[in-house]
Chain A
């Protein structure tokens, strides 16, 4: 599978997640088991009105989405894998007015569980947060074929 196919699949997947779409999340780069997403800055997700820093919840959403979507970059066929757990460590508040990026990788894939790690950062590699997650493999049949085709582009 080419990285362009991975990127297209992730972009189509994110497009179906209303919250991710309204936050403006965008897939920038995909590789085998790696993914980079961007969260643009916007005033609606500010957590601290004095500084304009965005709320940790929006960072959690960015990291959950990136960690969940990197699975698409690791498997040949699309499987929707629910999140079992996430652990987020906050290193630094995000600087207002600038996008936040999240880079995720799948570091272990078993027949039942997928382990991911993810780093959220801003320009010049300034780390905002780190996250590890586990995802459950419930099988591709758990999601309707029409939805799988929508993500893989086979329905077109």
Chain B
């Protein structure tokens, strides 16, 4: 899925442009990523095409899910010492507040890493980190 040279470039420079360019779905929803020291913050800028409910208007719940799922995947890839592609097994998503038509952020944490399976938690928020719009957890299989 990811070219090892691109991964190395990303890990060295913290520049995610090339990595995200290579994943069409990331471009389609407009996912961005910034590194602060060792921490990664994922961003989803407001985008008309990502909307679902037109009354609020609000981001489509599926897009919020896709954003968090992709964030968890990239987070895992970058956290590995060797290049292993995570394969998603399952994804549990709790919607806490409507995701309004504005920039959304997400942060991941590794709850547990075994030999073959990783459990990753994701929190997404908009205006304030203390008011998450969704939380999720995902299991990934790591294949050598």
Q: Are A19 and B98 within 8 A (Cβ)?
A: no
Q: Across the interface, which residues of B come within 8 angstroms of A60, CB to CB?
A: 62, 65-66, 69, 91, 93
Known contacts: A45-B24, A55-B25. The answer to whether A61 contacts B63 by CB under 8 A is: yes
Q: Across the interface, which residues of B come within 8 angstroms of A83, CB to CB?
A: 61, 95
Q: Who on chain A is nearest to B71 by CB? A: A57
Q: Across the interface, which residues of B come within 8 angstroms of A89, CB to CB?
A: 89-90
Q: Across the interface, which residues of B come within 8 angstroms of A57, CB to CB?
A: 25, 29, 62-63, 65-67, 69-70
Q: Are A19 and B62 within 8 A (Cβ)?
A: yes
Chain B, range 39-69, C-beta contacts under 8 Å to A:
48-55, 59-63, 65-67, 69
Stretch in A3-11, A28-36, A63-71, A103-111 touching the partner = A63-71
Check if A113 is an interface residue, CB within 8 A of chain B: no
Chain A, range 48-91, C-beta contacts under 8 Å to B:
48-50, 54-58, 60-65, 68, 80, 82-90
Q: Across the interface, which residues of B come within 8 angstroms of A144, CB to CB?
A: 55
Q: Are A20 and B25 within 8 A (Cβ)?
A: no
Q: Are A68 and B25 within 8 A (Cβ)?
A: no
Check if B9 is an interface residue, CB within 8 A of chain A: no
Check if B15 is an interface residue, CB within 8 A of chain A: no
Chain B, range 78-123, C-beta contacts under 8 Å to A:
88-95, 98
Please report the total number of A residues contacting B with Cβ < 8 Å: 39
Check if B5 is an interface residue, CB within 8 A of chain A: no
When A and B form their complex, which 10 residue pairs have the shortest distance between CB atoms, in order from nearest?
A: A57-B66, A61-B62, A55-B25, A19-B60, A64-B62, A60-B65, A46-B24, A18-B51, A44-B28, A48-B1
Interface residues of A (CB under 8 A from B): 16-20, 22, 43-50, 54-58, 60-65, 68, 80, 82-90, 143-144, 147
What are 13 A-B pairs with beta-carbon distances under 8 A?
A16-B54, A17-B52, A18-B48, A44-B28, A47-B24, A55-B24, A55-B69, A57-B62, A61-B65, A64-B62, A86-B92, A86-B95, A88-B65
Interface residues of B (CB under 8 A from A): 1, 22-25, 27-29, 48-55, 59-63, 65-67, 69-70, 88-95, 98
